[in-house]
Amino acid sequence: MADVLFVLDPLSLINPRADTSYVMITEALRRGHQPHYVTLDGLSLSGSVAWARARRLGPASDEPLAPMVDRGEPNARPLSSFAVVFMRKDPPVDPSFIAATWILDRAGTLVLNNPGGLRDLNEKLSMLEFPQLIPDTRLLRSIPDLRAALDDMGGKMIVKPLLGYGGREILQAKRGDPNLSTVLEIATADETRWTVAQQFIPEASAGDKRILLIEGEPIGAVLRVPASGELRDNFHAGGQGVATELTEREWYICSIVGPWLRDRGQLFVGLDVIGPYLTEINVTSPTGMQEINRLNELEGDATMQAKFWDAVDARLSH
């Protein structure tokens, strides 16, 4: 049995029916590990030593989907006293998140995902490493530049904030739309904020596919279909999950991107694919495990969280 630490949002925000962190914790318990947790305000550095005011945690009862609760008073411990630390704090990647990764750099133990990668691999820009796999994608903040990009992209594109997450503030820009100026002003916060402009992909109406990778290899996928009349298909925005399989193109994308991510210490990653295109690489607290489990009726050692822990235990044994 090993003590393991999860860096989380407050426990009240963890949804037992949807959150991937929830099943990561329950699987740790199933395997005999002792999970603890800390929120960002419980992390610190004392000299070069990283510390956490950690609490044991677990489900409130033996009932299925019981909420996660504290199992004791906080205990100040060096991060090196844990076998592994999981950075599962949800975005935004803001100054507090970045500071936490600097603390995790000094953990003195295994940290997943690697904190340097969490800082460097922006979820909307890291895919630019693979121009052959992605739609036309640009980072802009000038409204005239965005109008020029719209023309280059055939009069229709998606704009989204560089540091956005969970489907928030995703907008569609269309040539001839009387609200176009307003859309671009909102997207750039009046030209004060970097904005990702991305070619509109017609296949988006059928949904986007979240593909989960562990150690660079795909382990499962779910198709996220937008609600009627909705542009966004993220689960946080009301998207519905549909069982799916990987296409030949998606296997190819994984074969190119997966090893690159593994080499950068990113054990658990979510790729987003629309039609033939890779559209995002999610390294900060990816989700989707529970939806894939339910849609494919996976149990026990066949679940996404079991495959995740197989990889973690393999690393620990080495």
Q: Is 210 a catalytic residue?
A: yes
Higher pLDDT, 233 or 17: 17
Q: Is 224 a catalytic residue?
A: yes
Residue 318: which residues within 8 A CB-CB, separation 6 or more?
A: none
Longest CA–CA span in the chain (Å) reads: 62
| Identified catalytic residue from 282, 291, 293, 307 | 282
- C-alpha of 106 from chain center: 23
Percent of the chain residues topping a pLDDT of 90: 90
The structure's pTM equals 0.93
Helix (H) or strand (E) holding 263: helix 248-263
Q: Is 156 a catalytic residue?
A: no
Mean pLDDT, residues 181-206 taken together:
95
| Identified catalytic residue from 55, 89, 209, 232 | 232
| Identified catalytic residue from 89, 138, 209, 224 | 224
Q: What pLDDT score does 231 carry?
A: 58
Q: Residue 236 pLDDT > 60, yes or no?
A: no
Q: What pLDDT score does 51 carry?
A: 98
Tokens of 220: 């499962």
Q: What is the pLDDT of residues 161-172, one digit of tens each?
A: 988 888 788 999
Q: Is 145 a catalytic residue?
A: no
CB atoms within 10 A of CB 119: 17
Mean pLDDT, residues 63-71 taken together:
94
Q: What pLDDT score does 168 carry?
A: 83
| Identified catalytic residue from 123, 233, 250, 272 | 272
CB atoms within 10 A of CB 198: 22
| Identified catalytic residue from 210, 234, 250, 293 | 210
- Going along the chain from its start, the domains and CATH numbers come out as 3-116 (3.40.50.20), 136-200 (3.30.1490.20), 205-302 (3.30.470.20)
Q: How far is CA 175 from CA 50, 63, 149, 169, in A?
A: 52, 53, 11, 19
Q: Is 174 a catalytic residue?
A: no
| Identified catalytic residue from 88, 124, 138, 209 | 124
